[in-house]
């Protein structure tokens, strides 16, 4: 037997989000996880909402209300409390696997797109602080299993790409860098379901054929050191499909659970073990008669979970324990109810934890998660409430006193509420009110008048406070101010229903009557009433009033979905037909006597109506009203002419709900455009012109709740409630403008600000011929910018650069982004640009005409017609060699002729100016300062020895560098030719100076070393 692990229908989730429509009112600010609530159950939808003071009442078809936790949650194993409920990052899709990161955090894998407010596709790391880390390995499809070994995260699943790199079903990711490793096993198959490691090898199980060119049917092992397949080649097979679901390494054995009948050619039904030392199938044979999807071990015991009814030919439903060596069955028997399945097991100390899809274990209610005594198999006192339908727990991991649960759910730790609940929206608390309607109940409408709460829908009884049953058919009332005690009002007592599915969908209260519409046909006092009745408020009896419409074979339903009244007129919308010729009508109004005055012929049902003065707004899934084309919504004249207004938002799809507040119509349903613009199931429309407001939050269908994990079913927005300046939006959504927001959003529209834009010029006035930068600073996120100069469009973007003329008129127009929520969608600002003419400075330079090579030269500049600071660029032969803030420069003379100019650049609005040219010649050989007086110096240039003739006794010979520092000093002893060693001198230019005994210079001559 093979049971699908997927749920069957989408569920509804309620989330209350506090939000103000101010200058920062983009919908992305909705994601405050601590304010979210989940409503779940068999049908799960919320159809009705009503606010009374600070209480939000909601009704539908559900049995559970709890805070939104996402699909991975930590639970205190002692108290059962949710760990870090408000701050823990919520996952918006199924979590298949949870493993430790080795540092107090966890790695989760599954089928999700967000964890908290971080985009994470199917794999994420939550560190020990409860934060989503930077580790990011986006897989393009579901990840079913994950292990961490030696700094590498190995994942298996149904993906083909990881971080954009091709990897089929199996991949490795560096845990530090998030880079996909070069290891590419090339799996060919459908899915890898399970991974396990013993530290040396990676074991892989699933539905596959081979890796690259090597055949390995459904089971394989890789050497972690080399990345190569090992010699282990033990395939699984069965009469139909065969594959492992789960792998466990324990005591040098690889335990395998799945759906198969043989492994390695040996008969083993759904569970087997391989000796890792020999690579052979062991004698371990529990012999499960259904597939095994979970394994865990403790000492010499192996626990098995799945969908089976016998283990070793002995009755065991879905959960059993056997000897780890022999496979013999233990007496441990938790007795999981049917229909159920177990997907995950974890063992710690004296407790075995199991997760899956079940409702009763050992005769006690435990929804999808149970704690069992390891010795007796008795259910422990730990009872963390969640919902059963369309959810499961597929992953468990124990870390100290915390057990982490992952799977397909949105909430843990909530409370039972049958079809109706009340939320304190001021303090974010679920009220203790529990009316305990019967399990098949659905509340379709809620009205409150004078402290009395009226509920209409599909039900037959309730148990106020959990006591004895109180019988009310389709309609009940409760006194809010008397602890919600049921009133004695029971106008439908004794009616005979024609169908078990009869229901009231709408309640309209007037001073004299209760008008009730729905999908029903019942008999009271011998009279049959179809789809609409009214109850006399004085007598409490059903009134003889009967509108004239009938069922038509072209309709899927025969119902009145909405009723509105005005004076003597009663307006009804739904799915019904006109008696004459049985034309489909779907909207009509009659007088209080029950006479029908007007039918409108629609090609689809009317789902909701809202009357504003003499206009009646109707919404549904139609495309025409009478002969007038109207898509989804229309406005009708409530006068006797009952004409169709020109007002036409043109909503392309199904409209389920209409709400009104302050000249705004809020439209919700399942559609993608309105007014020719993108609107994802929610739109705000002007009541006068029918134009769209720019605010555009996108509501995307749930993923974590749906059976197919696709967006093909469900209704993103089912109900809108406008209460003063607060708007509640409810539906089957999990994402609002890319943020993790689920089920219901609350918006405040009381702090509107006008969009505003201001131009900031980089400078104004601007110097003639300079480029001006003008920037648009706005309080909005603009879709586009349009710049104009003197009325001509010149550019886009929030910055525009150009060279202006004096008196230019520069303007910018911005358009509010689609996610904005402002009274108008554009803003304009204009400035006038002034241009300042440039002044002309003056500059001239002076300096020597000749200078010795390497000697310093000083040049001075004379500056005129400049106030303020300036910069002078000094050039030699056209090349800048210095820039100064003062009118002088000193530099070392080079060889050849220098051609010096100076360019002045004042900091204010001036032109630049270039000086005269100054020519400085090189003084080659350097002239003697005095006559040689018969003194001869050679060689010059000199290498090692310098010879000097003509010296006298008492003369002083000095060798001086260009800075004036004396490096060598000699005194001749005779008049004979003298030789002096200059080996120690560095190559360069020097001055040889000879002075007599009185200090008079006889010669001063340059020499070159």
The 10s digit of each residue's pLDDT in 767-791 is 999 999 999 988 766 678 899 999 9
Q: Give the lowest-confidence range in 3-7, 185-189, 420-424, 683-687.
A: 3-7
Integer CA distances (angstroms), 771 to 277, 839, 845, in order: 78, 18, 32
**Considering Cα of 263, then 269, then 271, then 276, what sign does the dihedral take?**
negative
pLDDT exceeds 90 at position 291: yes
Other CB atoms within 10 Å distance of the CB of residue 939: 11
pLDDT exceeds 60 at position 41: yes
Whether the CB-CB separation of 109 and 123 falls below 8 Å is answered with yes
User: Rounded to an integer, what distance in angstroms lies between the CA atom of residue 729 and that of residue 482?
Assistant: 29
Strand partners, 958: 969, 993
Structure tokens at 600: 């409108």
User: Rounded to an integer, what distance in angstroms lies between the CA atom of residue 146 and that of residue 821?
Assistant: 43
Alpha-carbon Rg for the chain, nearest whole angstrom, is 44
Mean pLDDT of 961-977: 85
Integer CA distances (angstroms), 382 to 64, 171, 344, in order: 18, 38, 17
Whether the CB-CB separation of 506 and 516 falls below 8 Å is answered with yes
Structure tokens at 969: 């000093």
Whether the CB-CB separation of 981 and 939 falls below 8 Å is answered with no
Mean pLDDT of 662-673: 90
Q: How confident is the model at residue 251 (pLDDT cuts 50, 70, 90)?
A: very high
**251-265, 420-434, 697-711, 715-729: range with highest mean pLDDT:** 251-265
Other CB atoms within 10 Å distance of the CB of residue 15: 28
Closest CA to 291 of 314, 307, 267: 307
Whether the CB-CB separation of 535 and 491 falls below 8 Å is answered with yes
Other CB atoms within 10 Å distance of the CB of residue 890: 11
pLDDT in tens, 186-211: 999 999 999 999 999 999 999 999 99
Q: How confident is the model at residue 240 (pLDDT cuts 50, 70, 90)?
A: confident
> 209 by DSSP, 3-state: which?
strand
Q: Give the lowest-confidence range in 262-266, 781-785, 981-985.
A: 781-785
- pLDDT, residue 551, reads 55
Q: For domain 842-922, is the CATH number 3.40.640.10?
A: no
pLDDT exceeds 50 at position 930: no
DSSP for 770-788? PPEEEEEEESS-EEEEEEE
pLDDT exceeds 50 at position 477: yes
pLDDT exceeds 80 at position 102: yes
pLDDT in tens, 107-157: 999 999 999 889 999 999 999 999 999 999 999 999 999 999 999 999 999
Global pTM reads 0.70
Whether the CB-CB separation of 59 and 444 falls below 8 Å is answered with yes
Pairing mode, if any, of strands 835-836 and 766-767? parallel
pLDDT exceeds 70 at position 572: yes
pLDDT exceeds 60 at position 24: no
Q: How confident is the model at residue 751 (pLDDT cuts 50, 70, 90)?
A: very low
Burial classification of residue 974, based on how many CB atoms lie within 10 Å of its CB (0-12 exposed, 13-18 middle, 19 or more buried): exposed
pLDDT exceeds 70 at position 882: yes
DSSP for 486-545? EPS--TTTT-EES-TT-EEEEEEE-SSEEEEEEEEEEEETTEEEEEEEEEETTT-SBPS-
Edge to edge, the sheet with strand 292-298 lists 292-298, 301-306, 319-323
> 580 by DSSP, 3-state: which?
helix
pLDDT exceeds 70 at position 265: yes
Q: How confident is the model at residue 743 (pLDDT cuts 50, 70, 90)?
A: low
pLDDT exceeds 70 at position 991: yes
For 150, how many CA atoms within 13 A lie in the half-sphere containing its CB? Answer: 12
Whether the CB-CB separation of 48 and 58 falls below 8 Å is answered with yes
Mean pLDDT of 451-457: 98
User: Rounded to an integer, what distance in angstroms lies between the CA atom of residue 16 and that of residue 30?
Assistant: 9
Mean pLDDT of the chain: 87
Integer CA distances (angstroms), 849 to 620, 833, 899, 921, 928, in order: 98, 50, 11, 6, 18
For 726, how many CA atoms within 13 A lie in the half-sphere containing its CB? Answer: 18
Strand partners, 420: 59
pLDDT exceeds 60 at position 752: no
Mean pLDDT of 604-623: 91
- pLDDT, residue 725, reads 67
Q: Give the lowest-confidence range in 213-217, 325-329, 348-352, 593-597.
A: 593-597
Q: Give the lowest-confidence range in 42-46, 49-53, 202-206, 562-566.
A: 42-46
Mean pLDDT of 997-1004: 83
Integer CA distances (angstroms), 647 to 606, 628, 651, 682, 850, in order: 17, 12, 12, 18, 93
Question: Spelled out in words, what is the top-level CATH class assigned to the domain 936-1008?
Answer: mainly beta
Mean pLDDT of 288-312: 98
pLDDT exceeds 80 at position 978: yes
- pLDDT, residue 294, reads 99
- pLDDT, residue 243, reads 96
For 585, how many CA atoms within 13 A lie in the half-sphere containing its CB? Answer: 26
Q: How confident is the model at residue 714 (pLDDT cuts 50, 70, 90)?
A: low
User: Rounded to an integer, what distance in angstroms lies between the CA atom of residue 113 and that of residue 92?
Assistant: 7
pLDDT exceeds 80 at position 101: yes
Q: How confident is the model at residue 672 (pLDDT cuts 50, 70, 90)?
A: very high
pLDDT exceeds 70 at position 709: no
pLDDT exceeds 70 at position 67: yes
Question: Spelled out in words, what is the top-level CATH class assigned to the domain 757-836?
Answer: mainly beta
Q: How confident is the model at residue 926 (pLDDT cuts 50, 70, 90)?
A: very low
Structure tokens at 310: 């016998």
Closest CA to 247 of 205, 280, 200, 277: 205
- pLDDT, residue 742, reads 58
- pLDDT, residue 627, reads 82
Whether the CB-CB separation of 379 and 334 falls below 8 Å is answered with yes
Tell me how many degrees the CA angle 428-433-437 measures, rounded to the nearest 5. Answer: 125
Structure tokens at 116: 């908290």
- Count Cβ neighbours within 10 Å for each residue of 525-553 and write b for 16 or more, e otherwise: eeeebbbbbbbeeeeeebbebebebebbe
User: Rounded to an integer, what distance in angstroms lies between the CA atom of residue 32 and that of residue 87?
Assistant: 9
Structure tokens at 954: 């008492």
pLDDT in tens, 841-861: 999 999 988 887 778 889 999
Mean pLDDT of 875-902: 93
Closest CA to 352 of 307, 328, 311, 382: 382
Greatest Cα-to-Cα distance within the chain, rounded to the nearest angstrom: 159
Tell me how many degrees the CA angle 386-36-412 measures, rounded to the nearest 5. Answer: 15
Mean pLDDT of 244-248: 99
pLDDT exceeds 80 at position 940: yes
Q: Give the lowest-confidence range in 186-190, 431-435, 682-686.
A: 682-686
pLDDT in tens, 346-389: 999 999 999 999 999 999 999 999 999 999 999 999 999 888 87
The conformation of residue 644, written as its DSSP 8-state character, comes to B
Mean pLDDT of 275-303: 97
Query: Would you say how long the chain is, in residues?
Result: 1009
In the chain, domain spans: 757-836, 842-922, 936-1008
Q: How confident is the model at residue 288 (pLDDT cuts 50, 70, 90)?
A: very high
Q: Give the lowest-confidence range in 69-78, 196-205, 304-313, 980-989.
A: 980-989
Tell me how many degrees the CA angle 131-137-142 measures, rounded to the nearest 5. Answer: 100
Q: Give the lowest-confidence range in 594-603, 806-815, 932-941.
A: 594-603
Other CB atoms within 10 Å distance of the CB of residue 212: 11
Q: What is the dihedral of CA 143, 147, 152, 156, to 10 degrees?
A: -30
């Amino acid at each position: 037997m093979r049971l699908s692990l997927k749920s069957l229908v989408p569920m509804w989730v309620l989330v209350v989000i506090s939000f103000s429509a101010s200058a920062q009112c983009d919908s992305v600010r909705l994601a405050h996880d601590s304010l979210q609530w989940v409503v779940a159950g068999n049908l799960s939808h919320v159809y009705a909402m009503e606010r009374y003071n600070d209480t939000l009442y909601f009704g539908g078809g559900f049995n559970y209300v709890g805070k939104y936790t996402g699909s991975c949650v930590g639970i205190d194993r002692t108290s059962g409390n949710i760990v870090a409920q408000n701050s823990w990052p919520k996952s918006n899709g199924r979590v298949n696997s949870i493993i430790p990161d080795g540092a107090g955090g966890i790695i989760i894998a599954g089928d999700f797109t967000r964890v908290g407010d971080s985009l994470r596709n199917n794999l994420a790391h939550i560190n020990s602080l409860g934060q989503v880390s930077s580790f990011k390995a986006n897989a393009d499809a579901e990840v079913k299993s994950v292990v961490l070994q030696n700094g590498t995260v190995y994942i298996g699943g149904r993906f083909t790409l990881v971080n954009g790199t091709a990897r089929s079903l199996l991949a490795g990711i560096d845990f530090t860098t998030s880079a996909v490793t070069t290891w590419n096993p090339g799996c060919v198959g459908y899915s890898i379901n399970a991974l396990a490691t013993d530290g040396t090898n990676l074991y892989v199980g699933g539905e596959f054929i081979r890796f690259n060119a090597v055949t390995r049917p459904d089971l394989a092992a890789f050497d972690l050191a080399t990345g190569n397949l090992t010699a282990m080649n033990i395939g699984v097979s069965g009469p139909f499909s065969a594959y492992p679901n789960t792998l466990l390494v324990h005591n040098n054995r690889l335990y395998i659970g799945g759906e198969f009948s043989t492994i390695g050619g040996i008969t083993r039904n759904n569970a087997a073990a391989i000796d890792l030392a020999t690579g052979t199938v062991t004698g371990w044979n529990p012999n499960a008669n259904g597939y095994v999807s979970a394994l865990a071990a403790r000492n010499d015991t192996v626990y098995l979970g799945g969908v089976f009814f016998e283990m070793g030919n002995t009755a065991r439903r879905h959960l059993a324990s056997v000897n780890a060596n022999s496979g013999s069955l233990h007496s441990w028997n938790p007795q999981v109810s049917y229909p159920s399945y177990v997907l995950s097991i974890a063992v710690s100390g004296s407790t075995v934890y199991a997760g899956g899809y079940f409702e009763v274990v050992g005769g006690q209610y435990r929804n999808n998660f149970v704690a069992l005594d390891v010795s007796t198999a008795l259910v422990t006192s730990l009872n963390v409430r969640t919902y059963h339908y369309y959810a499961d727990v597929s992953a468990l991991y124990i870390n100290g006193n915390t057990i982490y649960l992952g799977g397909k759910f949105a909430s843990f730790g909530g409370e039972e509420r049958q079809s109706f609940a009340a939320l304190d929206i001021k303090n974010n608390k679920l009220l203790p009110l529990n009316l305990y309607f019967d399990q098949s109940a659905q509340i379709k409408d809620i009205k409150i008048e004078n402290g009395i709460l009226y509920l209409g829908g599909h039900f037959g009884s309730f148990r106020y406070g959990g006591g004895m049953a109180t019988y009310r058919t389709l309609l009940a009332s409760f006194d809010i101010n008397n602890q919600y005690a049921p009133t004695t009002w029971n106008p439908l007592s004794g009616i005979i229903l024609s169908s078990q599915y009869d229901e009231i969908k709408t309640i309209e209260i007037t001073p004299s009557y209760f008008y009730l519409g729905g999908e029903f046909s019942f008999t009271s006092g011998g009279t049959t009433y179809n789809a609409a009745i009214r109850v006399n408020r004085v007598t409490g009896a059903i009134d003889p009033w009967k509108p004239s419409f009938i069922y038509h074979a072209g309709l899927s339903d025969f119902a009145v979905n909405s009723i509105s009244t005005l004076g003597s007129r009663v307006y009804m919308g739904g799915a019904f037909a006109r008696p004459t010729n049985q034309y489909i009508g779907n909207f009509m109004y009659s007088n209080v006597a029950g006479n029908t005055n007007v039918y409108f012929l629609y090609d689809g049902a009317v789902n909701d109506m809202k009357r504003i003065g003499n206009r009646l707004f109707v919404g549904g899934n139609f495309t025409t009203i009478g002969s007038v084309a109207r898509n989804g919504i229309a406005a009708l004249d409530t006068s006797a002419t009952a004409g169709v207004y020109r007002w036409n938002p043109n909503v392309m799809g199904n409209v389920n709900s209409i709400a009104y507040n302050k000249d705004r119509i809020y439209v919700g349903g399942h559609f993608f455009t309105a007014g020719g613009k993108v609107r994802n199931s929610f739109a705000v429309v002007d009541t006068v012109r029918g134009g769209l407001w720019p605010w555009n939050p996108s509501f995307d269908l749930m993923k974590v709740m749906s059976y197919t994990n696709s967006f093909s079913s469900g209704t993103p927005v089912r109900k809108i409630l406008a209460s003063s300046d607060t708007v509640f939006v409810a539906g089957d959504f999990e994402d609002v403008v890319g943020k993790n927001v689920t089920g219901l959003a609350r918006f405040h529209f009381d702090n509107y600000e006008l969009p505003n834009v201001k131009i900031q010029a980089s400078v104004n006035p601007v110097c003639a011929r300079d480029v001006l930068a003008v920037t648009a600073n706005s309080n909005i996120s603009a879709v586009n910018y349009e710049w104009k100069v003197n009325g001509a469009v010149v550019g886009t973007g929030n910055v525009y650069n150009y060279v202006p003329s004096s008196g230019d008129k520069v303007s910018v127009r911005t358009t509010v982004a689609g996610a904005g929520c402002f009274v108008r969608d554009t803003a304009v600002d204009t400035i006038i640009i002034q241009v300042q003419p440039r002044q002309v400075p003056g500059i001239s330079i002076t300096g020597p005409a000749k200078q010795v090579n390497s000697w310093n030269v000083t040049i001075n500049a004379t500056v005129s017609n400049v106030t303020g600071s300036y910069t002078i660029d000094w050039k030699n032969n056209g090349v800048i060699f210095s820039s100064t803030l003062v009118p002088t420069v000193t530099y070392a003379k080079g060889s050849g002729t220098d051609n010096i100019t100076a360019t002045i650049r004042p900091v204010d609005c001036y032109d630049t100016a270039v000086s005269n040219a100054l020519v400085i010649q090189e003084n080659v050989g350097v002239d003697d300062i005095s006559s040689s007086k018969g003194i001869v110096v050679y060689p010059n240039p000199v290498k090692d020895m310098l010879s000097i003739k003509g010296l006298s006794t008492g003369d002083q010979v000095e060798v001086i560098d260009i800075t004036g520092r004396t490096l060598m000093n000699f005194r001749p002893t005779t008049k004979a030719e003298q030789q002096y060693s200059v080996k120690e001198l560095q190559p360069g230019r020097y001055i040889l100076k000879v002075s007599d005994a009185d200090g008079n210079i006889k010669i001063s001559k340059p020499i070159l070393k």
